[in-house]
């Protein structure tokens, strides 16, 4: 079975790997609900107990899918992490963030219904709402903790000032934020602060949305409805430059007899027990590859070879388009990519 770790100093014990379900609701092209349910079941059976979603993924589809997969399972065997506040329009357009107290209660009621549960383990705003003080957002979730509808409070993509202000109101168990070999901006200020405050890190994007894998090395065609088709890192010369980094990483992976993805996940795991990679496997086959990363043990020499193959400033292109980057509180502190 998969080992576990404490999520921050006040959070629950969770598996060393989490399953991110966003890609099961169309963000990366066509999906298959039956395969998605099978993947969730396989993850739970393997010992992955942290499942992450957002109420706006697929405009509710993702939560309903997870609810279907969890039917008949013991509730206490699953740690559900839910992001809220993202507003969608018809066709999946992004309409900003809403974390007003009355909206939070409304979002939670719908999430509980779609997931088929009576409480959520970790509830977090998807982004900082510029119109609502973080103290009000965290305070409202705290009231829902007291009422029994939520167990723990998490945050997502927040910068240092916001983290400090939030932690002064209620215990924060984790910060969900992008972290990978090619997205290392949190190392300068955010990660040290999380450790100072006793806040765990649930790292998403550990494969940089598939860049750090073998998939794009053999097939660079992205469907129009694939998020990456509009992401700077996957465009033209940026992609060509980034794939040279992946080729260098592949050479290191070959020395270990593992895939590029397994090495990239293992690198994140090696950065500390307080960091839990949340990997977006969409099929049982990808999940099995992901689980193989747990058997990759990296020493100082291995980490040095990986650093030489993928320098932390070598990636071309930001992780989101400019309009989306501007909405990230975590990027307002000059931490870079």
Task: Tell me the per-residue pLDDT of 27-52, one tens digit each, with 9 for 90 and over.
Answer: 766 889 999 999 999 999 999 999 99
Closest to 245 measured CA to CA, from 301, 296, 182: 182
- Kindly report, residue by residue over 60-97, the tens digit of the pLDDT: 999 999 999 999 999 999 999 999 999 988 877 888 99
User: Is 179 in the active site?
Assistant: no
Mean pLDDT of the chain: 91
Active-site residue identified among 28, 57, 149, 204 = 57
- Kindly report, residue by residue over 268-281, the tens digit of the pLDDT: 999 999 999 999 99
Residue 150 has pLDDT above 60, yes or no: yes
- Kindly report, residue by residue over 97-123, the tens digit of the pLDDT: 999 999 999 999 999 999 999 999 999
What does the block give as tokens for 26? 């169309």
The answer to whether residues 267 and 297 touch, using CB atoms and an 8 Å cutoff, is no
Tokens 């990296």 sit on residue:
298
Q: How are the residues of the chain apportioned to helix, strand and coil, as percentages rounded to the nearest 5?
A: 45, 20, 35
Residue 115, class by beta-carbon neighbours within 10 Å (0-12 exposed, 13-18 middle, 19+ buried)?
buried
Distance of alpha carbon 167 from alpha carbon 155, whole angstroms? 10
Choice between 332 and 112, residue whose per-residue pLDDT is larger: 112
- Kindly report, residue by residue over 284-304, the tens digit of the pLDDT: 999 999 999 999 999 999 999
End-to-end Cα spacing for the chain: 34
pLDDT reported for residue 334 = 44
Convert 266-278 to b/e letters by CB count within 10 Å (16 or more is b).
bbbbbbeebbbbb
Instruction: HSE, CB side, 13 Å, CA atoms: give it for residue 318.
Output: 12
The fraction of the chain above a pLDDT of 70, given in percent, is 91
Sort strands 86-88 and 79-84 into parallel, antiparallel or unpaired. Answer: unpaired
The answer to whether residues 158 and 329 touch, using CB atoms and an 8 Å cutoff, is yes
Give pTM, 2 decimals.
Answer: 0.91
The number of beta carbons lying within 10 Å of the beta carbon of residue 102 is 9
Q: Which residues contact 307 (CB under 8 A, 6 or more apart)?
A: none
Distance of alpha carbon 232 from alpha carbon 53, whole angstroms? 24
Mean pLDDT of 125-145: 97
The answer to whether residues 189 and 197 touch, using CB atoms and an 8 Å cutoff, is no
What does the block give as tokens for 173? 């168990």
Read off the pLDDT band of 3 (50, 70, 90). very high
pLDDT reported for residue 330 = 86
* φ, ψ (nearest 5 deg) of residue 176: -90, 125
Distance of alpha carbon 189 from alpha carbon 333, whole angstroms? 9
The number of beta carbons lying within 10 Å of the beta carbon of residue 205 is 22
Distance of alpha carbon 234 from alpha carbon 257, whole angstroms? 27
- Kindly report, residue by residue over 182-222, the tens digit of the pLDDT: 999 999 999 999 999 999 999 999 998 778 887 665 555 65
Closest to 36 measured CA to CA, from 15, 67, 14, 2: 67
| Beta bridge partner(s), residue 125 | 84
């Amino acid at each position: 079975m998969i080992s576990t770790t404490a999520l921050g100093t006040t959070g629950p014990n969770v598996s060393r790997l989490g399953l991110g379900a966003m890609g099961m609701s169309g963000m990366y092209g066509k999906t298959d609900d039956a395969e998605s349910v099978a993947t969730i079941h396989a993850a739970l059976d393997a010992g992955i107990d942290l499942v992450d979603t957002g109420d706006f993924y697929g405009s509710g589809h993702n939560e309903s899918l997870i609810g279907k997969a969890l039917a008949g399972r013991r509730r206490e065997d699953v740690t559900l992490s839910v992001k809220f506040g993202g507003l969608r329009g018809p066709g999946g357009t992004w309409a900003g963030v809403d974390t007003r107290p009355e909206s939070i209660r409304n979002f939670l009621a719908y999430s509980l219904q779609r997931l088929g549960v009576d409480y959520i383990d970790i509830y977090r705003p998807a982004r900082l709402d510029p119109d609502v003080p973080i103290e009000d957002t965290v305070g409202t979730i705290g009231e829902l903790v007291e009422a029994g509808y939520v167990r723990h409070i998490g945050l997502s993509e927040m910068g240092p000032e916001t983290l400090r202000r939030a932690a002064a109101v209620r215990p924060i168990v984790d910060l969900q934020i992008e972290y990978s070999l090619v997205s290392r901006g949190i190392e300068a200020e955010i990660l040290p602060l999380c450790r100072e405050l006793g806040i765990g890190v649930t790292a998403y994007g550990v494969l940089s949305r598939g860049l750090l894998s073998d998939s794009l090395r053999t097939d660079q065609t992205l469907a129009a409805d694939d998020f990456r088709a509009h992401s700077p890192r996957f465009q033209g010369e940026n992609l060509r430059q980034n794939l040279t980094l992946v080729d260098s990483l592949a050479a290191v992976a070959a020395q270990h007899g593992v895939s590029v993805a397994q090495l990239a996940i293992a690198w994140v795991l090696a950065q500390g027990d307080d960091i839990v990679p949340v990997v977006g496997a969409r099929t049982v086959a990808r999940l099995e590859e992901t689980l193989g990363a747990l058997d990759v043990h990296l020493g100082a020499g291995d980490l040095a070879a990986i650093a030489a193959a993928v320098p932390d400033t070598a990636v071309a292109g930001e992780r989101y388009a400019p309009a989306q980057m501007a909405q990230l509180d975590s990027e307002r502190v000059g931490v870079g990519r």
